Amino acid sequence: MSFSPTSPFPVRTDLVSGERGALPVRLWLTRWRARRALRALHPDQMREAGLTRYEVGREAAKPFWRA
């Protein structure tokens, strides 16, 4: 931990700079965005992708931290 010049409180620079911990956060954000996009699919788009409503619903219902 180090101190930021703009804040008197300790800052986790390893998370801010991307050294450690940023990879899981990016992965979680990617999963969240993908599952949100799945929820927005029109039934015709699901059919074109070869997905059923059940499959889309099951995947979209997963929390972002679960693969």
Contact 29, 51 (CB under 8 A): no
Q: What is the pLDDT along the chain (67 residues), one digit of tens a residue?
A: 454 556 566 655 555 555 567 789 999 999 999 999 999 999 999 999 999 999 999 999 999 999 8
Phi-psi region of 30 (alpha: psi -120 to 50; beta: other; left: phi over 0): alpha
Per-residue confidence (pLDDT) for residue 21, from 0 to 100: 73
pTM metric for this prediction: 0.65
Q: Residue 52: CB partners within 8 Å, gap ≥ 6?
A: 46
